[in-house]
């Protein structure tokens, strides 16, 4: 079985770590905002931020039977999460919620793209079929936010705001698959996939793209 040169392996590993770290911070911030708006206590804030940051990647690792979990392998991210929560609880006030929530659309879009790229790449590395790798990218990118909203007793935003979200991840994940088929450098595939999913989400927000809602008609009388 061919092996990658040490420099290429190092570059890919570093790229994955950097991208997952950035995505973790972005989604942890979105979890902080959701917990603050739900008026949770300190434990609730940390749990919701942790679910947003680590939930999708943990589910991916469970489905792929991958150990250790990515946040166990890089335990420093747990300290970073705790630090973010403490700073937020000390300085975030009610008057900050509305502007902060609007501002959080952008790191959330970035986190979507970054987790899509790494989730798909990890599944490809585990020799999963293309469609499975794409779905693993979607799971990584979307399910942290889904768990965040469920714990806050809300219908997950990814399912109810009618703006493309999971579809953006789906499109970005295929960039990784196509790049692999073209034998492109893996770090380039990661950046291209993250950029594609993030750009699509930003365009969806800026241009108010919406998905059609299911409106079942009235039941016909027999």
Residue 23 binned pLDDT confidence (cut-offs 50, 70, 90)? confident
- In our burial notation (b when 16+ CB lie closer than 10 A, e otherwise), range 86-125 reads eebeeeeeeeeeeebeeebeebbbbbbbbbbbbbbbbbbe
d(CA 130, CA 113): 18
Predicted pLDDT at 129: 93
Predicted pLDDT at 108: 78
pLDDT digits (tens, 9 = 90+) for 81-140: 898 888 888 876 666 566 666 666 777 788 888 889 989 999 998 899 999 999 999 999
Annotated domain spans of the chain: 7-206
- Length of the chain counted residue by residue: 222
Among 30-44, 72-86, 101-115, 187-201, the range of highest mean pLDDT: 187-201
Q: Is the pLDDT of residue 173 over 90?
A: yes
Residue 14 binned pLDDT confidence (cut-offs 50, 70, 90)? low
Predicted pLDDT at 93: 66
CB atoms within 10 A of CB 205: 18
d(CA 102, CA 81): 21
Residues 29-45: what's their mean pLDDT?
Answer: 84
Predicted pLDDT at 42: 87
Residue 9 binned pLDDT confidence (cut-offs 50, 70, 90)? very low
């Amino acid at each position: 079985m061919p092996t990658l040169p040490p420099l290429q392996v190092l570059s890919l590993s570093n790229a994955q770590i950097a991208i997952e770290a950035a995505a973790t911070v972005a989604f942890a911030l979105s979890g902080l905002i959701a917990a603050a708006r739900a008026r949770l206590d300190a434990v609730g804030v940390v749990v919701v931020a942790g679910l947003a940051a680590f939930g999708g990647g943990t589910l991916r690792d469970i489905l792929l039977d991958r150990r250790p979990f990515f946040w166990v392998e890089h335990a420093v991210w747990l300290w970073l999460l705790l630090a973010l929560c403490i700073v937020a609880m000390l300085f975030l006030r009610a008057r900050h919620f509305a502007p902060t929530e609007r501002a959080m659309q952008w790191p959330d879009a970035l986190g979507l793209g970054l987790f899509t790229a790494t989730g798909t790449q990890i599944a490809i590395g585990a020799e999963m079929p293309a469609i499975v790798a794409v779905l693993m990218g979607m799971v990584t990118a979307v399910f942290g936010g889904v768990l965040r909203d469920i714990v806050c007793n809300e219908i997950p935003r990814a399912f109810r705001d009618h703006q493309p979200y999971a579809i953006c991840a789906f499109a970005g994940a295929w960039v990784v698959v196509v790049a692999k088929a073209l034998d492109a450098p893996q770090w380039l595939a990661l950046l291209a996939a993250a950029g594609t999913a993030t750009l699509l989400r930003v365009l969806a927000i800026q241009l108010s793209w919406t998905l059609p809602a299911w409106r079942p008609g009235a039941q016909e009388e027999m």
